[in-house]
Structure 1
Amino acid sequence: MSKKQRIKTSLFCAGALLLVLACMGLPSAFCVMQQARLLQTSHSRPAEENALSSQGRENALAKLLYDRQFLAGSTPEWDSNGWQVLEQTEEGQMNSIGAALEQLRKAGLLDETQTAAAYALLETEQPDACKNAMRDTAGFVRYEWSTEADSLLLELGPGEEVVRLRWSVGGQLRAAELLEEYKRFLNVTEFTDWQDLSSEDGHLAAAYSPAAQLYVYASDKGGTELGAEHKTPEQIATAMKDKKEGTA
């Protein structure tokens, strides 16, 4: 092979080698460019499922019950297994229950007769009296005091908010009146999107606010019952659907 041919061959091999190296580098260069482009692109996070509205977060009760459901993972059902025995003396239980009863009396949710009967239950020394105190993982406390004649169920939030009451002694107010008074008592009248979920017979008055994700109810059947629970719109829709199908 002549010198001239050897030079041509060397130049050809060098060119081929450079071409191969360039091709090998293309994928890496493309990946670097693509990664840089992705890093420069802003991605919005999807909205949190069942997130509480800004108005709901500003309301103390709505946020308290929301946090109880989604952060503490606690369930408010009476028959749930999420409750543990609260180590509290009988005197301590009486004081806590008595303070809550006084709040309800001052708010007009219990009349004088009902309040006096409840205090009589607290002071009873009957041997068959049942006196229990429980606490859940979110710091809510449930009291259950009863005799053969009367029964009182009371649930208080960490700040002694009365979020549930079931008292076997009835009062003068009807369910609809109780509900409006209870909403004022809970400081949730600022919400204007309340949906009426009351029963047709008038013994259960209930309302739901999607903004607060609050279900508030009052009943005058067989005594007096009040309650406030966190419910998502999906839970309410499912409950209404089941109720409609059950009555169809």
Structure 2
Amino acid sequence: MLNALECGIRRHHLKARCLSLDAYYSDRDIRLLKLLIQYLQADSGKESSTFIAGLEKFHFCWEHMLGKVLKCTVNLNSKLPAPAYIDIDGRVLTANKKGMRTDIILHDEHKNKYTIADAKYYAASNVGNAPGWGDIVKQLFYEKALKTLDADASIKNVFVFPGIDGNLKEARVRSRQKSTDESHIFINDFEPIYCYYTDPMLVIKNYLKGDKMTELTNELLRSV
């Protein structure tokens, strides 16, 4: 039996979903909203009810779940450098809200090692469906920024993809001027970004149980 508060919440969500129909135009969105309305009208609150929902952008969910199941996570976003503008009068205008936002940072305090992990819900089976130049540059810049906080720390950059067996080992910055088809010259000023794959069902199971993935954490922190 639903109490008055739960009934009020249901009525609020039902009204919001009905109003949303006028704002959505694709058949898929309208069909999804109608199913949500049907659920709120008839099934919500019943112990035997079944509700299935899909996410259009699972990347955010993947990032969130990995951040919860990994150990040794730290939030350093508020400490990372941020942009500032100087106006024509010479005044410095800070723009902290436009600062860097890392996905996940792991820190081994005993060895003073950091791993900057970018959770990517990509197949990453070849260069066509792997992270692009913008993703690579962002990670390299995160590493450079983290060095300003702790110059003596060891820093490792990684992409974490869903999958059991992965095809990609690492991402490197290659010199197109000096490289040939037979000889590849990598620019050592840019550290590699290592690629890791983990079973998404295992991540989901650990997330739902509130457990930590110690083995994956150790693997991401391990020196290469």
Relative to total residues, which structure has the larger helix share, 1 or 2? 1
Q: TM-score, normalised by structure 1?
A: 0.22
Flag the structure with more relative contact order, 1 or 2, with Cα contacts below 8 A and sequence separation at least 6: 2
